[in-house]
Amino acid sequence: MLLTEMNKAQLEEFKAECEKAYEAYKAKGLKLNMARGKPGADQLDITMPMLDVLNSSSDLTSEDGTDVRNYGGLTGIPEAKKLFAEMLGVSPEEIIVGGNASLSLMYDSVARAMTHGVLGSEKPWCKLDKVKFLCPAPGYDRHFSICENFGIEMITIPMLETGPDMDMIEKLVAEDDSVKGIWCVPMYSNPDGITYSDETVRRFANLSPKAKDFRIFWDNAYCVHHLTDTPDTLLNIFDECKKTGKEDMVFEFASTSKISFPGAGVAVMAASKANIAQIEKILGIQYISYDKINQLRHVRYFKNFDGIKAKMEEHRAIIAPKFKLVLDTLEKELAPLGVGEWHNPNGGYFISVNTLNGCAKRVVSLCKEAGVVLTGAGATFPYKNDPNDRNIRIAPTYPPLNELEIAINLFCLCVKLASAEKLLAE
Amino acid sequence: MLLTEMNKAQLEEFKAECEKAYEAYKAKGLKLNMARGKPGADQLDITMPMLDVLNSSSDLTSEDGTDVRNYGGLTGIPEAKKLFAEMLGVSPEEIIVGGNASLSLMYDSVARAMTHGVLGSEKPWCKLDKVKFLCPAPGYDRHFSICENFGIEMITIPMLETGPDMDMIEKLVAEDDSVKGIWCVPMYSNPDGITYSDETVRRFANLSPKAKDFRIFWDNAYCVHHLTDTPDTLLNIFDECKKTGKEDMVFEFASTSKISFPGAGVAVMAASKANIAQIEKILGIQYISYDKINQLRHVRYFKNFDGIKAKMEEHRAIIAPKFKLVLDTLEKELAPLGVGEWHNPNGGYFISVNTLNGCAKRVVSLCKEAGVVLTGAGATFPYKNDPNDRNIRIAPTYPPLNELEIAINLFCLCVKLASAEKLLAE
């Protein structure tokens, strides 16, 4: 029976049962975490052999003769550029291989725009009265934090099944030259797990922004992070932009954080040669080079893009059962009651649950009180403001399966309890 | 006989001999480089065993239980903080352990000041009409490039035997609240190899800047890079500042770039707890963590500060003979002619030569034409403008000893030739 169809007495009884079960959970003294998209220890274990590929007898010379131990090689060693160029479908000349964090490549790209502007800027963005970014939401909280950090005004764009609302985006970028950028996670979006449709990608490649220095921040964090035999496919944004002559409009980012090690992976940025020339001048003031030994370690270990794909199959074997457990539990516990909606993603790191309106904060708070940490309610929206207070991001990868089972059952219970409270208060 | 005491005929003859010798060098088709402070391959070889300390069977848990492979640990793992705290004579709470480049820690510190200000700033520096930095010179070209990059006006401060001219510094910081910072390489300064005297350090700790957000950028790049049995000693700037209650005034930087690997070392920043609290908030938007596996690799390899000191003895054994060769050659070739002055540094990476006024550019150009690359003349001054055109930075570490011998002899020849040309033109 749907919760919304219950009468007051039924709801009271339902709530009382939930409360009793909830007290039992609280008595367990749980300490579980489904807050961040962190790989579990078992996922990190599968990449441990990478630590053996370079040792004291290794030749640490890169393809172009560079001693990777020494200074130099600002934009990365050639073999790393090739590897990531293949992964992202661009040429090695369109690649900058960074340090261990794509987040810092993104932050630094915005920071450089603030202090210097991008290619085509008339002045640094910090000299403008107002800079605005479009923020498809639910989205990635750390993208929004970068905007807040630099005082960039965020405009929420609704996410549809095909990606962000392109009608709204086309209109806003065409009308307002203070709109300088948009954050996109085009494949297995954080948190919805939506992959942008071909039409959406083509419409991005066809954007005609009023601002000559508008940039699409294409955070392709989950480009190889498939979870099924029938993965989503994403059009190559650079291929599409080359057709429209607008390839300067895109900064693409990715990393091996969820391929090798989150704390010691290799990040990468793809951009047009003209953009890279502009970036390189400033980057050369900030860095002499990123960690080239770690770049070489990654290339020698993965060898090529097939090596990366093979590793992702290993990850899938570990995390697909976790996603299945969460989705099965949601289906079993929440679907019959009609108190939640979610996507069934084909990849990525998250399951995005929408509760009844006005319940998300209460659910997160109930979970926390019983020892299960979730991403803060609202975090998936600009200014942490979910207008309907309904979106919760579940990150199933970090806890071991047995802990995850407890956590997701508690979560469902909290959704039920919060929903009953909500309906009774109406 | 001093060149300045020669008559015209003697000078003409001297010059002709130099030209003949120079043509002979040119015929050799040399390709040598004394431009950058790069360790030689033999120096990098001594740290190769570091690549064996972590392997696929290592426990990658840090002292506080963090899995260093995963996300988290923004300011560094505890054991790395301890190691560098000992090296810099501060507490672990005053340490941020970074990525592979202290240059980026410095750049990012200035960038943050531009976009956010530092602790005590009334507004971000980019919102001010003018920001000025004091630049002791000769100094490190990459410091000056950071200023140029952000449009910060540079004021040249002369270097004395005791460090920068403190009278001038005290006056400028007290008078002008647009003076927001100063670049210092306090130990074995780049390029002079001068270590600041105790009085100089104490005067720094006693500065009373008009700008409440003035910062001393204390780049202690060569803090353990001794070359003799009687190394220089440097007062601990934080100890002195704690006496005056001005510890918020200092950002200190160091790295293992010239201890382990330039391309894959670990950089570190020391600052007061109040400064670190301000920095951490913004740093947490840019990074989730730096590369913690590489931090652990360094700690497990060096074990403690004694391990670092022992490694520096190995470096000294390789590079002290290079410094001796250069200094002996300068002494033999230039001293009797009175056409150059230089310091005899007890550590660091450079030998700074002052030619007769107006000769440096010519010397660098002559060397280049004969196949020996030097740091560009003027690079050691703000805006690449050496007012006397006389300072040349020699970096003796990178070439093998046999190549260095050729390069430094050619250099001396070019100084002689340029000096003769100069004196004849007067």
The CB-side HSE value for B205 (13 A sphere, CA atoms) comes to 20
The minimal CB distance from A263 to the residues B126, B262, B291 is found for B291
Rounded to whole angstroms, the Cα distance separating B239 from B248 reads 12
Q: Is B111 on the interface with A (CB under 8 A)?
A: yes
Q: How many CA atoms lie within 13 A of A243 on its CB side?
A: 12
Q: Is A117 helix (H, G, I), strand (E, B) or coil?
A: coil
Could you count the other beta carbons within 10 Å of the beta carbon of residue B293?
Answer: 23
Closest Cα in chain B, distance from residue A1 (Å): 42
Report the length, in residues, of chain A: 426
User: Nearest-CA distance from B395 to chain A in Å?
Assistant: 14
CB B418, CB B362: distance < 8 Å: yes
Q: Are strands B179-184 and B132-137 parallel, antiparallel or unpaired?
A: parallel
Tens digits of residue pLDDT in A202-211:
999 999 999 9
User: Stretch B63-89: mean pLDDT, rounded?
Assistant: 97
pLDDT at B326: 98
Is B287 within 8 Å of A101 when comparing Cβ atoms? yes
Query: pLDDT tens, A311-354?
Result: 999 999 999 999 999 999 999 999 999 999 999 999 999 999 99
Please name the residue of chain B whose CA is at the shortest distance from the CA of residue A289. Answer: B263
The HSE-up count of residue A314 (CA atoms within 13 Å, CB side) is 18
The arrangement of strands across the sheet holding A153-160 comes to A95-97, A267-270, A250-255, A215-219, A179-184, A132-137, A153-160, A163-164
Report B:238-257 residues touching A (Cβ under 8 A). Answer: 257
Cβ separation B262–A288 shorter than 8 A: yes
Asked if A72 has any chain B CB less than 8 Å from its own CB, the reply is yes
Burial class of residue B29 in the structure, from the number of CB atoms within 10 Å of its CB (0-12 exposed, 13-18 middle, 19+ buried): exposed
Report the run of H or E that residue A163 belongs to, with start and end. Answer: strand A163-164
Chain A residues within 8 A of B259 when measuring between CB atoms: none
User: Residues 38..57 of A with a Cβ closer than 8 Å to B: which?
Assistant: 38-39, 41, 44, 47-52, 54-57
Average pLDDT over residues B230-246: 98
Who among A44, A55, A107 is closest to B70 (CB)? A44
pLDDT for position B36: 87
Q: Does A406 touch chain B (CB under 8 A)?
A: no
Q: Is the CB of B263 less than 8 angstroms away from the CB of A69?
A: yes
Q: Over range B372-392, report the average pLDDT.
A: 96
A residues 127-156 lying closer than 8 A (beta carbon) to B: 127, 142, 145-146, 149-150
What DSSP assignment string belongs to A249-301? GEEEEEESTTTS-TTS--EEEE--HHHHHHHHHHHHHH-S---HHHHHHHHHH
Interface of B with A in 339-368 (CB under 8 A): none
- Whether residue A287 and residue B68 make contact (CB cut-off 8 A), yes or no, is no
Closest CA of chain A from B315, distance in Å: 15
**For an interface test with B, which of A52, A285, A294, A349 has the most B Cβ atoms less than 10 Å from its Cβ?**
A285
Question: How close is the nearest chain A Cα to the Cα of B299, in Å?
Answer: 16
pLDDT digits (tens, 9 = 90+) for B275-313: 999 999 999 999 999 999 999 999 999 999 999 999 999
d(CA B181, CA B204) in angstroms, rounded, equals: 12
Please tell me the distance in Å from A370's CA to the nearest CA on chain B.
24
The DSSP element (H or E) to which A82 belongs, if any, is: helix A78-88
What pLDDT does residue B426 have? 86
- Token pair in block for residue B391: 């300072």
Measure in Å the smallest separation between the Cα of A3 and chain B Cα atoms.
Answer: 39
Share the mean pLDDT of chain B. 97
pTM beyond 0.95: the answer is yes
The answer to whether the CB atoms of B261 and A69 lie below 8 A apart is yes
What digits encode the pLDDT tens for the residues A140-194? 999 999 999 999 999 999 999 999 999 999 999 999 999 999 999 999 999 999 9
Q: Are B378 and B384 in contact (CB under 8 A)?
A: yes
Joined tokens for residue B240: 């002195």
Q: State yes or no: pLDDT of A426 exceeds 90.
A: no
CB contact under 8 A, A51 and B54: yes
With cut-offs at 50, 70 and 90, classify the pLDDT of residue A302. Answer: very high
Residue B139 has pLDDT above 90, yes or no: yes
Tell me: the pLDDT tens digits for A221-244? 999 999 999 999 999 999 999 999
| CB interface of B with A, residues 81-100, below 8 Å | 99-100
Which pLDDT does position B60 carry in this prediction? 98
Mean pLDDT of B205-230: 98
Q: Please name the helix (run of DSSP H) or strand (run of DSSP E) that holds residue A168, with its range, or none.
A: helix A166-175
The secondary structure of chain B, three-state, reads CCHHHCCHHHHHHHHHHHHHHHHHHHHCCCCEEECCCCCCHHHHHCCHHHHHCCCCCCCCECCCCCECCCCCCCCCCHHHHHHHHHHHCCCHHHEEECCCCHHHHHHHHHHHHHHHCCCCCCCCHHHCCCCEEEEEECCCHHHHHHHHHCCCEEEEEEEECCEECHHHHHHHHHHCCCEEEEEECCCCCCCCCCCCCHHHHHHHHCCCCCCCCCEEEEECCCCCCECCCCCCCCCCHHHHHHHHCCHHHEEEEEECCCCCCCCCCCEEEECCHHHHHHHHHHHHHHCCCCCHHHHHHHHHHHCCHHHHHHHHHHHHHHHHHHHHHHHHHHHHHCHHHCCEEECCCCECCCEEEEECCCCHHHHHHHHHHCCEEECCCCCCCHHHCCCCCCEEEECCCCCCHHHHHHHHHHHHHHHHHHHHHHHHHC
Round to whole Å and give the CA distance between B415 and B419: 6
Q: State the count of interchain CB pairs (< 8 A) between A and B.
A: 167
ipTM, two decimals: 0.97
Bridge partner list, B353: B342, B392
Read off the pLDDT of residues B16-38 as tens digits, 9 standing for 90 and up.
Answer: 999 999 999 999 999 999 988 99
Tokens of B136: 């002791």
**Cβ-based contacts of A257 with chain B (< 8 Å):** 71
Instruction: State mean pLDDT over A81-91.
Output: 98
Tokens of B68: 């260093």
Percentage of residues of chain B with pLDDT beyond 90: 99
Query: Rounded to whole angstroms, how far apart are CA atoms B110 and B279?
Result: 11
Query: What CA–CA distance (Å, rounded) separates A58 from A42?
Result: 28
Enter the tokens of residue B175: 């008078």
Q: DSSP letters along A28-77, please? A: T---EEESS-PPPHHHHHTTGGGGGSS-TT---B-TTS-BTTSS--TT--
Q: Quick one: chain A helix, strand, coil %, rounded to 5?
A: 45, 15, 40
CA-wise closest residue to A375 among A107, A100, A142: A142
Query: What sign results for the dihedral spanned by CA atoms B336, B342, B346, B348?
Result: negative
Q: Is A425 on the interface with B (CB under 8 A)?
A: no
Q: Which two tokens stand for residue A228?
A: 């099924």
Q: Name residues whose C-beta falls within 8 Å of residue A356's C-beta, 6 or more positions apart in sequence.
A: A339, A340, A390, A418, A419, A422, A423
Cα(A219)–Cα(B347) distance, integer angstroms: 46
- A355 confidence band (pLDDT: 50, 70, 90): very high
Q: How far is CA B85 from the centre of its chain?
A: 20
For residue B135, list its beta bridge partners: B156
Q: Is B65 on the interface with A (CB under 8 A)?
A: no
Among the partner residues A103, A108, A285, nearest to B146 by beta-carbon distance: A285
Closest to B324 in 3D by CA, of B346, B357, B355: B346
A189 touches chain B (CB under 8 A): no
What proportion of chain A, given as a percentage, has pLDDT over 90?
99
- The confidence score (pLDDT) of residue A77 equals 98
As a whole number of angstroms, the distance between CA B282 and CA B291 comes to 18
Q: Which two tokens stand for residue B56?
A: 């696929």
**Sign (positive or negative) of CA dihedral B101, B103, B109, B113:** negative
Dump pLDDT digits (tens) for A31-74: 999 988 999 999 999 999 999 999 999 999 999 999 999 999 99
HSE toward the beta carbon, residue B356, CA cutoff 13 A = 23
Among the listed residues B209, B217, B158, B138, the one whose alpha carbon sits nearest the alpha carbon of residue B184: B217
Pairing of strands B351-355, A132-137: unpaired
**Cα A386 from Cα A156, distance rounded (Å):** 10
Query: B83-105: per-residue pLDDT in tens?
Result: 999 999 999 999 999 999 999 99
Q: In whole angstroms, give the CA distance from residue A201 to residue A366.
A: 39
Distance from CA of A254 to the nearest CA of B (A): 15
From the CA of A112, how many Å to the nearest CA of chain B? Answer: 9
The residue of A144, A261, A282 whose CB has the most chain B CBs within 10 angstroms, and thus the best one to mutate to test that interface, is: A261
Q: What pLDDT is attached to residue A36?
A: 87
Residues of chain A neighbouring B55 (CB-CB closer than 8 A):
51-52, 55
* C-alpha neighbours within 13 Å on the C-beta side of residue B26: 13
CB spacing of B56 vs A51 below 8 angstroms: yes
Q: Can you give the pLDDT at residue A257?
A: 97
Q: Tell me the residues of chain A between 268 and 327 that have a Cβ less than 8 Å away from chain B.
A: 282, 285-294
- Token pair for B256: 């293992």
Nearest to B287 among A44, A70, A104 (CB): A104
d(CA B421, CA B426): 9
